[in-house]
Structure 1
Amino acid sequence: MESIVSQIRTMAKNADDVGLLEIQKALRDIQTEIQTPKDILIEFANSNLILATVRLGADLKLFRHLATHNGSLTVSQLADITGASSQLLERVLRYLASINVIKEVGFNEYQANTTTHTLADPKGEAMVYHIFDTHAPSVQAMPDFFAENGYRDIDSITNTPFQKAHNTTLSSFDWMVQNPKHFESLQKVMVAFESAEWTAGFDLFDSEAKKVPSVSPQPSERPFFVDVGGGHGHQCVQLGKKYPNLLGRLVLQDLPAAVNQLPPIEGVKAEAHDFFEKQPIAGAKFYYLRRVLHDWPDRECSTILQNISDAMSSDSRILIDEVVLPDTGAHWQGTMADITMMINLGGKERTVHQWKSLADSACLRVEEIHTYISSSYTSIVVLAPK
């Protein structure tokens, strides 16, 4: 057994992202094959408990304490630090160690592992709170919602399991604005996914970015890059680091709740804008939407794209930074995201065919698809005027 495990570790160490997912899938397939029916049922029973206990650990700051301590901590030490009873912590920590969230090193003695450090990070902690507080209630409400609605696909932002779970008539985003604690967790989660990876190997963007002179823009010069629905501007910041010559030509747009209290971002103009209204910036070279359209049903997406399309010049392009699902054999992370978008927002992850259909509805065409993370199908869908 040890030699087999050693071989798998060696393969994983030398694998790229796609290879790692293939190894993980093979291990899951083998696990399913060797599980008894009883094992399968108990694993399902455990699924809800994992999230709730991790949330409890986050409340007690267990992961932070273990991650910042050199070496191990005993149950008694953690009880003194957290104020929780030793009896409760003994049971909770034993369970967390059994599911590899923390590492057991002796009797009632624990230390951090890789998962612990991930959960101790503010972004990981925000993910735990967002999933437990906002998403998990929608999951619980999902079966009854579909039974009550005739098992039909969702095409509304205000008639989803989210409304049933949170007892509201508001859309998910409007509810978030009225619940700042949950909105802040979401923003931290979005920052966790900031990246300039999408520019790597993307010749269309790279070549145009390098043409921009390294001098201050003229007052009459059109913006180069408009980040539509860009949250706290993390993508503009990443882009400015990679292409300093673009500073002063980058625009961040989002709702007032997201941008009005932002500190100034060097080289980035932040402005409040609702993408369901007319796009105020005409003729920008690139309009960029990252993880925006998967939040919305087709009808709303068509409106968003049409508002941008009306402002485009002939050489303008829309860059949609999202998942492009394969027609068959999709990985569970992609399909999970699709269901998550549906039950909370009425949105979806889309296939090539669905992206082309959506573009066509706004008098646009798919000019190119640049896939930059093959393992998750994350791509730039380039839309051009027809």
Structure 2
Amino acid sequence: MNGPGDLDNLLSQLCRAAENFKRDHNDLERLAALKAARKLVQALETPQEGALLTGVSPIQVLCVRIAIDIDIFTTLTKSNGPVSLKELAAVKNADPSFTERVLRVLAGIGYVIEHEVRVYAANAMTRYMSDPGAVAVLKFQFDVCMPLYSKAPEYFRETGFQTPLESNKGLFQYVEKTEESIWSLMSKKHEDMDGFYTHMAGRRANLPIWVDWFPVQERIIDGFEDKDGSGLLVDVAGGRGHDLERFRAKFPSARGRLIVEDLPQVLEGINSGSGIECQPIDLFEPQPVQGARAYYMKFVLHDWADRQSQQILQQLKVAMKKGYSKLLIEEVILADKDAEPIPSLGDWMMLAIHCGMERTQSHWEGLLTSTGFRVVRFWNPPSPGQQSIIEAEVA
């Protein structure tokens, strides 16, 4: 806990940031106010309280996960007013005393409103957690990731606290007792893949859409060589083509082929009449689309360690036309100092699931230079702390 002078300083910082947000109402000021508020909480909290809250924080995720199963969020969201404990428990025939213990935690962390004693109401978090995308994110974190996290200390003790260099010998493989990747295992179960892509859509729902802030016209369309069969934009490992759909909606008159590449079972979910071509690929095999204007990868390389990322980049480099083709990599860029909590925690999630990582700007520069690329520019979105776009060309 800080002294009175420190608290006065932190309170002044928070008040200034909050006033700026009230005046300008932009995301930059909101995040500044949030950062100041967190510093104030840390100053008021004793080390004992901080350590205890960290230690029991998995219980918060547990209670949110159970709340999804017993339909607390959807029931409160659909209700026109407060709902009693008895009514909430009855939805899934749950024990009211058990349900109350879940709700007590949810109210404490701001996921529901405790309207009266044993009477609850929805707030913004309740409504958010009734969305299928938000549900998929939480389920993925608890059902897939939490078992990995619980085994991580054991795994890293056995490996001498080394960063895994091979993507088939990481924490996921250690826990699942396999050499297959999470992609390979999920591809065998369509319900798992559907859940994963709902999870990904949920994670990305509130992120800035790259075509709205990146200078697409200037950097891609204006230099396009419109020849027979020319590719304008290739979305490498682009899932079900959502980013290309947004590109086409934003630039409907742009000429050239729009091609989404991914595993065959992923591409099955794309509407064949959408005007977007589907190309099955293996990231580690030769790139089938040669000489396109731009190759775009969104949250792909953070799934892979440097060695595998270099192999993927080499396949792309061979397909690109020097002086013409562009590589656009949309990823989170970690700050070298004072990194935000969500990207730092996301780095650990990538490590646990894929042996992957989030990277700093200097790390990205080194990775791309080592595979024969030249970084043209790092483009940052209007809101700080979000994903950036790295524009690169063949050196």
Taking structure 2 as the reference length, the TM-score comes to 0.89
- 1:31 is matched with 41
Deviations 1:266-314 (A, max 9, x none): 2211221112111111111110000000100111111111111111112
| Residue of structure 1 in register with 2:264 after alignment | 256
Match of 1:146 in 2: 156
Quote the offset at 1:172 in angstroms: 2.2
Structure 2 distance, partners of 1:60, 1:6, is 40
Per the alignment, residue 136 of structure 1 pairs with 146
**What pairs up with 1:284-303 in 2 under 5 angstroms?**
284-303=292-311
- The equivalent of 2:237 in structure 1 is 229
Query: Aligned pair count?
Result: 380
- 1:313-354 deviation digits (Å, cap 9, x = unpaired): 120001000122222221111211112111211111112221
Greater displacement, 123-132 / 36-45: 36-45
Match of 2:247 among 239, 244, 247: 239
Select the residue among 292, 316, 320 that pairs with 2:325: 316
Report the more deviating stretch, 82-91 or 125-134.
82-91
Paired with 1:265 and 1:190, the residues of 2 have a C-alpha distance of 24
Instruction: Report Cα offsets for 1:193-215 as digits up to 9, x if no partner.
Output: 16663234433x222555499xx
Name the Cα RMSD after superposition: 2.5
| 2:125 paired residue among 115, 129, 146 | 115
Q: What code does the residue aligned with 2:238 have?
A: G
2:173 pairs with 1:163: yes
Shift of 1:83: 1.8
Of 265-274 and 275-284, the range deviating more from structure 2: 265-274
Structure 1 CA distance for aligned equivalents of residues 233 and 45 of structure 2 = 52
Identify which range, 172-181 or 48-57, moves more after superposition.
172-181
Aligned equivalents of 2:92, 2:370: Cα separation in 1 = 55
The answer to whether the aligner puts 1:97 opposite 2:107 as a matched pair is yes
Specify the alignment match of 2:377 in structure 1: 368
Residues 140 and 165, structure 1, Cα contact 8 Å, conserved in 2: no
Provide structure 1 residue ranges, at least 5 long, that are not aligned to the other structure. Answer: none
Deviations 1:125-145 (A, max 9, x none): 000111001111111111111
Give the distance between the partners of 1:41 and 1:95, measured in 2 at CA: 18
CA distance in structure 2 between the aligned counterparts of 1:320 and 1:31, rounded to whole angstroms: 36
Which residue, out of 88, 91, 100, partners 1:78? 88
Q: 1:60 aligns with which of 48, 55, 70?
A: 70
Pick aligned residue for 1:266 from 270, 274, 295: 274
- 2:28 pairs, out of 12, 15, 18, with 18
Percent identical pairs in the alignment equals 29
In 2, the alpha carbon distance for the partners of 1:142 and 1:150 equals: 12
- 2:291 is aligned to 283
Query: 1:131, 1:295 → 2: CA distance?
Result: 16
Deviation at 1:66, TM superposition (A): 1.0
Matching of residue 197 in structure 1 with residue 209 in structure 2 = yes
1:289 and 1:319 in contact (8 A); partners too: yes
Mean CA deviation greater in 191-200 or 23-32: 191-200
Residue pair 1:247, 1:268 contacting (<8 A) in 2 also: no
User: Cα 1:148–1:179, aligned 2, differ >3 Å: closer, same or farther?
Assistant: farther
Q: CA deviation at 1:382?
A: 0.9
**Deviation digits for residues 216-260 of structure 1 (CA, Å, limit 9, x no counterpart):** x98823110000001111111111111112476211110012112
- 1:366 is displaced (CA, Å) by 0.7
Question: What amino acid does structure 2 have at the position aligned with 1:186?
Answer: F
The residue type paired with residue 166 of structure 1 is E
Q: Gaps (5+ residues) in structure 2?
A: 1-10
Question: Contact between 1:197 and 1:372, CA under 8 Å: does it hold in 2?
Answer: no
Q: 1:141 to 1:181 in 2, by over 3 A?
A: farther
**Mean Cα displacement is larger for which, 364-373 or 120-129?**
364-373
The 8 Å contact of residues 348 and 357 in structure 2, kept in 1 or not, is answered as yes
Shift in CA distance, 251/75, structure 1 to aligned 2, threshold 3 Å: same
Which of 27, 30, 51 lines up with 1:41 in the alignment?
51
Tell me how far apart the structure 1 counterparts of residues 201 and 242 of structure 2 sit (CA, whole Å).
6
Q: Post-superposition shift, 1:61? A: 1.7
Instruction: Determine the C-alpha separation between the residues in 1 that align with 2:76 and 2:312.
Output: 45
Change beyond 3 A, Cα 1:366–1:212: closer
State the 1:8 CA deviation. Answer: 7.1
